[in-house]
Structure 1
Amino acid sequence: MLKKLKLRPLIILLVCLVVALSLLITDILISQHVTKTIKEDKEEKAKMIARIVAKDDIVRQGLMVEEQALDIQSYAADVLETTDVLFIVVMDMEGIRKSHPNEENIGRPFEGGDELEVLAGKESTSISQGTLVTSLRTFTPVYDDQENQIGAVAVGISLDRLEESVLASHGKLLIGSLLGLITGIIGAILIAAYIKRTLYGLEPFAIAKILQERDTMLQSVHEGIIAVDKEARIVLVNKSALAIFQKAGLKGNPVGMKVNEYMPSSRLDNVLATGTPELDEELEINGLSCLVNRVPLQVDGQIVGAISTFRDKTEVDLLAEQLTGVKSYAEALRAQSHEFMNKLQVILGMVRLKNYDELVGFINETVQNRHKEIGVVTTNIENPVLSGFILGKLSYARESGVELTIQTETKIPETFSSDTIHELITILGNLIDNAIEAVKNSDRKKVDVTLSLKEDTLTILVEDTGSGIGDMVLKNIFSKGYSTKGPNRGYGLFLLKKSVDKLGGTVVVDTFQNKGTTFQIDIPYRGEQR
């Protein structure tokens, strides 16, 4: 039931219970203390009155001289009138009263049985009932000038009056407690409202549900996620991240550790310091290559942490390779379909004109060229993704009006590493695209691509008949974002150089003004043995 109780009434209820319990315990303790204090105060007051009366000469003379005994009653009545005690009784050593509020009791023995101790010379206090109501009694002995006891004085305080004093004090305590309870309720309402605003109006069970859902979502994400606080201490790691860490040889749960102690290459501390996101970058974790995004976490304009998402680059490369192959095949099929329709139109025209000799020659030439083109690629390049990619580029070149030739001086077998094929596609794609673009405005639109494999070294030679590359441009062609073709360009050759460096290869550029450009790429390449 408490689990579903809303936050505001729950806080008000708990605060009120705590305040009420605290006030109740305080009230009980203070009431006991006040009752004890009032009793002691009244007792001390009665004792002082008794001592004063016991030392008065009228009382002592009245106890020693019988003729002066009547003066005791008059004196005691005067004292009783000026105090709020119940009675003042003076008695001799036989316990015979010499004074009493009720004069009829003068000359009679003191009642209650609690006077024996004072007649023995000791002060005492007791609660007893005599001829009047039950009272608190204080007894003090009376001595003559030679310190011989000649009587005693009893001063009584009504217990009803004592109870009235206690109740009056207790009433004030109750008023104070009630005011405290009201203040506690108001404070509870204000605190509940403040907490509710702080929690964006959400109830505890709603917050718990959101946390469970968020945690489930984070753990279900295929990408690895790691988050740090503003002190660069790891506060969150999901299952995928732990799996990647274990794959890279990092053991244990890093939550609570400094990120640089667990993974020095994370660069999350740099994101915390600069507040600048780092997107789509590579990260090496003990030799395992990952694709990483790093973003600072900000609340009210203040950086409170940073989060990084990453994924094994092998999986990304494999997916990119598959997507590239599918796209290349689709592009090749589209271009071939378009080209086939054009040739069907030519054949239909020749049939209608009954130019059968020319028709036979056209068909034979088309079949031979197509067989030669496809045969060279599919026969000599054994990787289907790479061959499909090149066929797509052949179709793209024909659509662009560019003559693209593919030559393979040796067979290019499958490779052990899928990463190599991915990087090759990046290299070939950027080289061929740049070459096609370079010859679009040339009189002779020709691009030649030659592949050869010798002694585990793959050589890629791409030659175009474009206008060449100027010396100033040549110095910066591999710089990221550098381009003479407008904004948002200049990434192709940068990625090409990055892929070549990753494979441990080299790139050489020969360019001649108005004659063309040649790119030669040499990279290590180990094919599968068949």
Structure 2
Amino acid sequence: MAKKKSYSLRTTVAVMVSAVVVLVLLVLYIIFRNQIIPQTRHALEDKAITIARTIALMPLLSEGLSEGNSKGIQAYTSKITRRNDILFVVVMDMNSIRYSHPDTSKVGLPFVGGGQEAALRGQESMSEGTGTLGNSLRAFVPVYDGRGHQLGVVVAGLSMDRVQRLVRQNEWTIIAILVSGALFGAGGAFVLARRIKQMMFGMEPADISRLLQERSAMLESIREGIIAIDQEARITLINMEAHRLLKAAGINGAVVNRQIADYWPELRLEHVLASGEGRQDQELELGGISLLVSSLPVRVGGEIAGAIATFRDKTELAVLAERLSGISVYADALRAGAHEFMNKLHVIMGMTHMGLYDELQQYILGTANNYQQEIGAITRQIKDPAMAGFLLGKLSRARETGIELLLTADSYLPESADSQVIHELITIAGNLLDNAMEALGGPGSDEHSGDVHSRDVHGRDVHSNKRIGLAFHYEEGRLLCEVSDNGPGIPEALREQIFVQGFSSKGEHRGIGLYLVRKSVDKLQGHLQIAACGGGQGTTFIVDVPYAAKGEESQ
């Protein structure tokens, strides 16, 4: 089957508009031909009968017909014929004998061509006839004397050739006007088609239809809810995910063309439209569902044409973040373990090269025992497997950077009854430990750190200039987490600013860690305090949160 030929939008619009213009002009031509052309004939008939009436009222005609004198009538009608540009004026008596004629030899002879019968009975009439002067359009008007007696008839004639010529002139004038209109209409159609094509960015209707379907499919397939409004704050778009989330929150009913303030007032999208400033990652509680919302103005040509909001269930994001956090912990642990393993392999290779086999055996046994003791100490004190794996990764990372990470001997963390709480605790501990490592690795940290002796998880004496202490204390449904370092400390003036999102003294694109700590502590309805800030005393963060242990486990 042959593929149907398709035409471009410009050609289609131009042809369709031109066809409409031609059709309209054709109808107008028919109307004009049936109205104006007959009016031309009527105008000529009115001219002829008006001339005949005027002549019939002249006393000269009634006197000449009464006296039988044709000379005066002939002279007068000859003047009238020349001045009014008509074919002839003939005056006849009641016996149809001519008293005037353009050809003086015809005066005194009977009228030729007929049609005067009605006029001889006192009635005006119009007719076409062929006489001595050819085919003509004639007007017949009776002539009366002063007492009302009919004396004869006046005939004013127009040449039919002239009548047809005037009719054809008017017809061609109409045709010229309509053809000009058709040309202007066609030109306007092409200009309109070009303008429409430009407004549609040069795309064909099929392209627009396909693009609309693709965009609609994309909007419906993404995992975020989307709501868009126009300049009047009316909802113009909402995708299926937005419907699902809002329905779960108890918001139902028709959506499109409703005011956003009536449909979802907490979103405050009309304020984004008015101010032109967006909002990122704003938490909203709606019908028991916690949503993370971002709102942005929509600009077209530099002007605000609307606003759009995207949102997602925060619980889903938390689950995803928990998975990513676990992967990150495992990745850190593997990377640090690989680094340590390479160092130990270098030692083994060197001792093998030197032939120190007895010492090599003792080194391998000691390394294995230390590793098992470290894992054993962590698993004895930290009963939650996710937190234990996390801390093993941090211990390896700290050793890699030359920092001692010490878990206090009296620390204890039972397994949590709620995995979400452990996720938040990993966020809190992870960011506090990372912040402490950065503080110890920063400029001037050696100046404020002294030689401090303590005991590690194995009970051995340790000695380091860079040290981080970590402690977990659980008692009667409460958990105390303490992270301390012997770095330069935090100035008193920055004590509140460090928890503001984006604030950092370490450069741009930082300042998120402590903000997440405060956010997680608030979510767990706990307390956060800072001790020993500044003055070279280091920094201590103390977090106190509710904690439900799994089963009846206790310290």
- CA–CA distance in 2 between the matches of 1:476 and 1:58? 122
| Aligned match for 1:415, one of 418, 423, 426 | 418
Q: Which residue of 1 aligns with 2:298?
A: 297
Q: Which residue of 2 aligns with 1:493?
A: 514
- CA–CA distance in 1 between the matches of 2:209 and 2:98? 82
* Aligned Cα root-mean-square deviation (Å): 3.3
- CA–CA distance in 2 between the matches of 1:218 and 1:32? 60
3-state SS of 1:246 partner? helix
Q: Displacement, 1:109?
A: 6.0
Is 1:329 aligned with 2:351?
A: no
Is 1:274 aligned with 2:296?
A: no
Q: Which residue of 2 aligns with 1:338?
A: 339
Q: Which residue of 1 aligns with 2:547?
A: 525
Pairwise mapping of residues 29-428 of structure 1 onto structure 2 (< 5 A)? Answer: 29-66=31-68, 68-69=69-70, 72-73=73-74, 75-101=76-102, 103-104=105-106, 106-108=108-110, 111-112=113-114, 114-129=115-130, 133-346=134-347, 352-355=355-358, 359-360=361-362, 362-363=363-364, 365-378=366-379, 381=382, 384-406=385-407, 408-415=411-418, 418=420, 420-428=421-429
Q: Which residue of 1 aligns with 2:494?
A: 473
- CA–CA distance in 2 between the matches of 1:528 and 1:153? 130
| Aligned match for 1:457, one of 465, 469, 478 | 478
Contact kept, 8 Å, 1:412 with 1:452, in 2: the verdict is no
- CA–CA distance in 1 between the matches of 2:541 and 2:491? 15
- CA–CA distance in 1 between the matches of 2:495 and 2:61? 131
From the superposition, tell whether residues 379 and 128 of structure 1 become closer, same or farther in structure 2 (CA, over 3 Å): farther
User: Could you tell me the TM-score, scaled by structure 2's length?
Assistant: 0.83
- CA–CA distance in 1 between the matches of 2:111 and 2:271? 102
| Aligned match for 2:22, one of 20, 23, 29 | 20
- CA–CA distance in 2 between the matches of 1:70 and 1:137? 23
Q: Displacement, 1:155?
A: 2.2
Superposed CA offset, 1:262-294 (max 9, x none): 222334333333333433443443443333333
Contact kept, 8 Å, 1:97 with 1:110, in 2: the verdict is no
Contact kept, 8 Å, 1:322 with 1:385, in 2: the verdict is no
- CA–CA distance in 2 between the matches of 1:396 and 1:46? 119
From the superposition, tell whether residues 380 and 411 of structure 1 become closer, same or farther in structure 2 (CA, over 3 Å): farther
3-state SS of 1:30 partner? helix
Letter aligned with residue 13 of structure 1:
V
From the superposition, tell whether residues 109 and 300 of structure 1 become closer, same or farther in structure 2 (CA, over 3 Å): closer
- CA–CA distance in 2 between the matches of 1:111 and 1:306? 88
From the superposition, tell whether residues 231 and 379 of structure 1 become closer, same or farther in structure 2 (CA, over 3 Å): farther
Q: What is the aligned length?
A: 524
- CA–CA distance in 2 between the matches of 1:456 and 1:263? 39
- CA–CA distance in 1 between the matches of 2:195 and 2:544? 68
Contact kept, 8 Å, 1:412 with 1:453, in 2: the verdict is no
3-state SS of 2:298 partner? strand
Q: Displacement, 1:43?
A: 1.7
Letter aligned with residue 79 of structure 1:
I
From the superposition, tell whether residues 344 and 77 of structure 1 become closer, same or farther in structure 2 (CA, over 3 Å): closer
- CA–CA distance in 2 between the matches of 1:397 and 1:130? 131
3-state SS of 1:355 partner? helix
Superposed CA offset, 1:452-480 (max 9, x none): 44443332222334444343333433233
Contact kept, 8 Å, 2:382 with 2:413, in 1: the verdict is no
3-state SS of 1:150 partner? strand
- CA–CA distance in 1 between the matches of 2:188 and 2:59? 64
Letter aligned with residue 404 of structure 2:
E
Contact kept, 8 Å, 1:117 with 1:124, in 2: the verdict is yes
Contact kept, 8 Å, 2:298 with 2:305, in 1: the verdict is yes
- CA–CA distance in 2 between the matches of 1:26 and 1:471? 91
From the superposition, tell whether residues 41 and 528 of structure 1 become closer, same or farther in structure 2 (CA, over 3 Å): farther
- CA–CA distance in 2 between the matches of 1:348 and 1:50? 140
Contact kept, 8 Å, 1:16 with 1:188, in 2: the verdict is yes
* Greater alpha carbon shift after TM alignment, 132-141 vs 313-322: 132-141
Contact kept, 8 Å, 2:298 with 2:304, in 1: the verdict is yes
Pairwise mapping of residues 499-518 of structure 1 onto structure 2 (< 5 A)? Answer: 499-511=520-532, 513-518=535-540
Q: Which residue of 1 aligns with 2:437?
A: 436
Letter aligned with residue 178 of structure 1:
V
Superposed CA offset, 1:307-344 (max 9, x none): 23332222222222112211211221222233234345
Superposed CA offset, 1:163-189 (max 9, x none): 211111222232233333333333334
* Greater alpha carbon shift after TM alignment, 33-42 vs 475-484: 475-484
Q: Share of identical aligned residues, percent?
A: 42
- CA–CA distance in 2 between the matches of 1:411 and 1:339? 29
Q: Displacement, 1:45?
A: 1.5
* Greater alpha carbon shift after TM alignment, 119-128 vs 494-503: 119-128
Q: Could you list the runs of 5+ residues in structure 2 that have no partner in the other structure?
A: 452-463
From the superposition, tell whether residues 461 and 134 of structure 1 become closer, same or farther in structure 2 (CA, over 3 Å): same
User: Could you tell me the TM-score, scaled by structure 1's length?
Assistant: 0.86
- CA–CA distance in 1 between the matches of 2:382 and 2:232? 53
3-state SS of 2:148 partner? coil
Letter aligned with residue 358 of structure 2:
N
Q: Displacement, 1:507?
A: 0.8
3-state SS of 1:413 partner? coil
Q: Displacement, 1:429?
A: 0.9
* Greater alpha carbon shift after TM alignment, 276-285 vs 44-53: 276-285
Superposed CA offset, 1:124-165 (max 9, x none): 333455666554332211111211122222223233321211
Q: Displacement, 1:396?
A: 0.9
Q: Could you list the runs of 5+ residues in structure 1 that have no partner in the other structure?
A: none
Letter aligned with residue 540 of structure 2:
T
- CA–CA distance in 2 between the matches of 1:528 and 1:116? 130
- CA–CA distance in 2 between the matches of 1:346 and 1:49? 137
- CA–CA distance in 1 between the matches of 2:495 and 2:97? 135
3-state SS of 2:266 partner? coil
